[in-house]
Amino acid sequence: MPQGDYIELHRKRHGYRLDHFERKRKKEAREVHKHSERAQKSLGIKGKMIAKKNYKEKVQMKRTLKMHEESSSRRKVDDEVQEGAVPAYLLDRETTTRAKILSNTIKQKRKEKAGKWEVPLPKVRPVAEDEMFKVLRSGKRKTKQWKRMVTKATFVGPGFTRKPPKYERFIRPSGLRFTKAHVTHPELKCTFNLEIIGVKKNPNGPMYTSLGVMTKGTIIEVNVSELGLVTPGGKVVWGKYAQVTNNPENDGCINAVLLV
Amino acid sequence: MAQYDFKKITVVPTGNDLIDIVLSRTQRQTPTVIHKGNAISRVRQFYMRKVKFTETNFTDKLSKTIEDFPRVEDIHPFYGDLLHVLYNKDHYKLALGQLNTARNLIKRIREDYVKLLKYGDSLYRCKSLKRAALGRMCTVTKRIGPSLAYLEHVRQHMARLPSINTGAPTILICGCPNVGKSSFLNKITRADVEVQPYAFTTKSLFVGHTDYKYLRYQVIDTPGLLDRPLEDRNIIEMCSVTALVNLHAAILFFLDLSGSCGYSISQQAALFHSIKMMFRNNPVLIVCNKTDLQTLEGLSGEDLKLVMEMKSAALKTIPGQGGEAANDQDVLLTMSTITDEGVMAVKNAACQRLLDQRSERKMKSKKMPTVLNRFHVAMPKPRDQKERPVCIPQAVLEARAEEAAHEERKTEKDIENENGGAGVYSASLRKHYILADDDWKLDILPEFLDGHNVYDFIDPDILQRVEELEREETAVEEDGGDFEMEDEDFTAEAEKDLQEIRKRKKLLIQKHRIKKSTAESRPTVPRKFDKDRKFTTERMGRQLSSLGIDPSRAIERARSRSVSRKGRKRERSVGGDGEDVMEIDGGLDNKKKLRLRSRSMSVLSQRPLGEVVPGEGFKDSAQKMKAVTMARNATKKRNKDARRGEADRVIPTLRPKHLFSGKRSIGKTDRR
């Protein structure tokens, strides 16, 4: 025992107090009541936090109990039907198989032509123009109102230069420009921080698409070279589409789901 | 040459705790109310403040931790190596590095979100941004949770390390396990180290302090070393190796001559030779312990040869840096910790060697000449060759000789030991009582008599008091006797009159006594508590007439001087409340009131106020007077409030109107 462990040394030499164990037991027994008193008497945010913690514990306890109960009850046994199992009256028939296999790339090309994608968020709330733009007054007497500032998250490409300030109608402030998105792979269930290559389509209109505004539901193209995906032909995939799933202007970041 | 204090490191909270602390701080110390209707700049400012505040708190707490923990490179190499051995320097540095990165990340989050908040155009948007910012900071903190837990663990262990002053003179004890190092430490210092027969009882460094020639020496006890290559050593052995290598100290290498530690002399010699290069310039002493089991002379030939080899090796390690042994004897010493022989000699030898070396080093250092210049020891020049020895008077010498020959006085402790020891013999405390008659020494005093404690009534002048009492009683008896003699002559009527007279007399005495009491000690019942409206002029009139005095003038005067609450008009009707004089109710039916107002009067206790009565608990008269004064002072205030005692907390009017009503000419009246 190190020299600094006074408590253990004293215990080793002199043992415990005569009433030590009894006091300890009683103190622990009293803890339950104290816990409940604290939970009942706390007010405000502290009370809410305690209640939340207690609720979580209660749920956990209920789950465990249910699990234990499950093992003791009896259940009906289902005979599982195997895939491809054929009923008796169909036996002795030759089943035909479709041999045509279309590759993924062709399918995607077809979809692109049709202009339709299978997306996780098919419908999004439309964003009005006055929500999207803020009117900026300009001119000597601040009466001209033809300038607009974008209030949502935007993406501008790497080679972007502003138009001369006198002529630019839509201002995309640099504080609202994003270059990276947190993209989740739906099957792998993990999230990567990937660079945005461009904005493909904004459901609110082609103007927003051309401006590069990213709202909820926008399809963007991200750089997936990190993931190391390879086409069946052996080429490295480095760009894929993803759909934005949050409101970037409210959260300060772009969360998207990869469209596979 | 600092004394490191690792106890001052602040407690490192766990990840979740840190989050709770910072978030609850933000909630408490920033404004909490903001409305949708407020100006947007105010809304933005409100939320930006919260983000900034949270970031500041996180940064502060993390910075405090990072700065409190010592940096392994900046501290003394002994502690640096010790920290490495105990906690793994890399892991330690990584943990601190993670805290640093977390701090930077949090700073960056704050900058980003404050920038975004500037574009917030609605309350909802600003609120979501603030929520996102705080959430991200908390996630970062959650991720460093394991590092925080590790650092807390390290801090707790570090705080309990023995405080070793790396610059103080130190003696280091090393050797094989079970050789007797810890028992030696226990003998020369007050360190109470565990000594057990199994090996590796000592598992870490222990420090004790001892004095030699007015200097304080540190003695460090190390865990035992086994003869292994350095890479194979475990943490416990590495502690002692660290101490050996980094500390400048006198090294005592302990040798067990009897081999009862489990290692033969050849094994111990091998260990010595393998670690001797760690000794460098430190003075080395080889101490042979357990001589009660096996003496140095009684060793066999080869063993003796091994020991001599070690001794010569030890001599060699002191090339010229000072600390050279004055003689051979100083390098090889024998002792036994059980019988205590040679222990002090070893300590003195070690301390002396170290002292010599340190003083030589100091002399050779660059600072010495600057200091030496300021010293000058003046030696008087002898004027002739006459010898002048010490002069002690003859009487002193004789007295000294007598004292030496004088036998030691037998103490009570000796008597106790003779008669069986502490539990068996109980010393008779009565032996030395000083009493008038020596026969009384062994008398047994009774403790209780008639339900009283006898000791409460024991008084040195008790006989005197008894005489006084007897005298009083005889006096009273005589008086009573007079009355009783004449009692037969009284008729029934006269008897009744006598009783009447006596009653009156008692009343008068009581009244007089009450009057005598000062205003401050007499409780005054203020008028407003006279709820029963007993103090009326009618009553006064009745009582005055019963005394035989015409009350009309008194009543007039009282009525003219007082103003009733309801106005004077009322007074003409049935006697209103016109008095402000408190009347004493005559007659014994209001005994209760009397008792409230007057001091308790017991006729029998006619003692003077400051006299000390045994049994009351006062030391002397002054103390009693002080107590009486204190009691009086306490009751004064209460009496002024017409409170019956300490426990009387009646508030006659709970909400006095003058305090609870009214308008203010300026300001608000939402608090009174």
Contact A3 B27 (CB under 8 A): no
The separation between CA B402 and the C-alpha centre of its own chain, rounded to angstroms, equals 49
Q: Which residue has the tokens 């198989």?
A: A97
Calculate how close chain B gets to A135, using CA atoms only, in Å. Answer: 12
Q: Tell me the DSSP string of A45-80.
A: HHHHHHHHHHHHHHHHHHHHHHHHHHHHS--PPPPP
Does B593 score more than 60 pLDDT? Answer: no
Q: Which of the residues B85, B112, B116 would you substitute to probe the A interface, choosing the one with the greatest number of A C-beta atoms within 10 Å?
A: B116
Q: In b/e form, how buried is each residue of B234-264, taking b as 16+ CB within 10 angstroms?
A: eebbbbbbbbbebbbbbbbbbbbbbbebebe
DSSP 8-class letter at B2:
-
Q: Tokens at residue B475, please?
A: 């006096």
Answer for the pair B490, B498: CB distance below 8 angstroms, yes or no.
yes
Angle ∠(A227,A230,A231) on CA atoms, nearest 5: 140
On the question of pLDDT at B595 being above 50, the answer is no
Contact B204 A5 (CB under 8 A): no
User: Where would I find the beta strands (DSSP E) of B242-378?
Assistant: 250-256, 284-289, 332-334
Residue A5 has its nearest CB partner, among B124, B160, B193, at: B160
CA distances from A67 to B6, B462, B536 (A): 49, 86, 86
On whether any CB of chain A is under 8 Å from the CB of B263, the answer is no
Structure tokens at A53: 């913690």
Residue whose structure tokens are 């609110």: A204
- Residue B236 parent element (H or E): helix B235-246
φ and ψ of A181, to 5 deg: -130, 150
Chain A residues touching B161 at Cβ < 8 A: 2, 4
Instruction: Kindly tell me if the per-residue pLDDT of B174 is higher than 60.
Output: yes
Contact B119 A1 (CB under 8 A): no
pTM of the model: 0.63
- Flag whether pLDDT at B194 surpasses 50: yes
The percentage of residues in chain A with a pLDDT greater than 70, rounded to a whole number, is 87
Q: What integer best gives the mean pLDDT of chain B?
A: 83
In this prediction, residue B519 carries a pLDDT of 60
Cβ <8 Å between A4 and B27: no
Of the two residues A85 and B664, the one the predictor is more confident about is B664
Give the strands of the sheet with A170-171, arranged side by side.
A133-138, A144-150, A170-171
Say whether residue B111 is in contact with chain A using an 8 A CB cutoff.
Answer: no
Q: Do B161 and A1 touch (CB under 8 A)?
A: no
Question: Does B129 lie at the interface with A, CB-CB under 8 angstroms?
Answer: yes
Handedness of CA B142, B143, B148, B153 (dihedral sign): positive
Chain B, 366 to 405: residues with Cβ < 8 Å from chain A are none
Under an 8 A CB cutoff, do A2 and B132 touch? no
Of residues B116, B162, B194, nearest to A252 (C-beta): B116
What strand order describes the sheet that includes B206-212?
A: B206-212, B215-221, B170-175, B250-256, B284-289, B332-334
CB-nearest to B112 from A2, A151, A252 is A252
- The more confident residue out of B602 and B279 is B279
Cα(B252)–Cα(B288) distance, rounded to whole angstroms? 10
pLDDT band at B413 (very low <50, low <70, confident <90, very high): confident
- Cβ distance of A251 and B162 shorter than 8 Å: no
From chain B, pick out residues whose CB is under 8 angstroms from the CB of A151: 119, 121
Q: Using CB atoms, which residue from A2, A151, A252 is nearest to B160?
A: A2
> CA–CA separation, B208 vs B217, rounded Å?
8
- Residue B660: the pLDDT is 86
Cβ B177 vs Cβ B199: under 8 Å? yes
Bigger pLDDT: A216 or B357? Answer: A216
Beta strands in B408-559 (DSSP E): 448-449, 452-453
pLDDT at B672 (0 to 100): 80
Percent of chain A whose pLDDT exceeds 90 = 61
Average pLDDT score over residue span A139-165: 92
Note whether A252 contacts B132, CB cutoff 8 Å. yes
Residue B390 CB partners (closer than 8 Å, separation 6+): none
Q: With bands split at pLDDT 50, 70 and 90, how would you rate the model's confidence at B588? A: very low
Distance of alpha carbon A189 from alpha carbon A186, whole angstroms: 5
The partner residue sitting opposite A175, judged by closest CB among B27, B115, B132, is B115
SS3 for A116? Answer: coil
Lowest pLDDT segment from B65-69, B368-372, B521-525, B598-602: B598-602
| Among chain B residues, CA nearest to A49 | B20
The chain A residue lying nearest B236, using CA atoms, is A2
Mean pLDDT value across residues B96-113? 96
Q: Which of B116, B160, B191 sits opposite A4 (nearest CB)?
A: B160
Q: Which has the higher per-residue pLDDT, B570 or B313?
A: B313
In B, which residues are within 8 Å of A3 by CB distance?
A: 160, 162, 191, 193, 204-207
Closest Cβ–Cβ partner in B125, B132, B162 for A3:
B162
Res B580 pLDDT > 60: no
Provide the shortest C-alpha distance from residue A70 to chain B (in Å): 34
Collect all residues from A whose CB is shorter than 8 A from any CB in B.
1-5, 9, 45-46, 134, 151, 173, 175-176, 247, 249-253
**Average pLDDT of chain A, as a whole number:** 87
For residues A36 and A29, give the distance between their C-alpha atoms in angstroms, rounded to a whole number: 12
**How far is B133 from chain A, CA to nearest CA, in Å?**
8
Q: Is B203 in CB contact (< 8 Å) with chain A?
A: yes
Angle ∠(B243,B247,B251) on CA atoms, nearest 5: 80
CB-based contacts of B586, cutoff 8 Å, min separation 6: B507, B543, B546
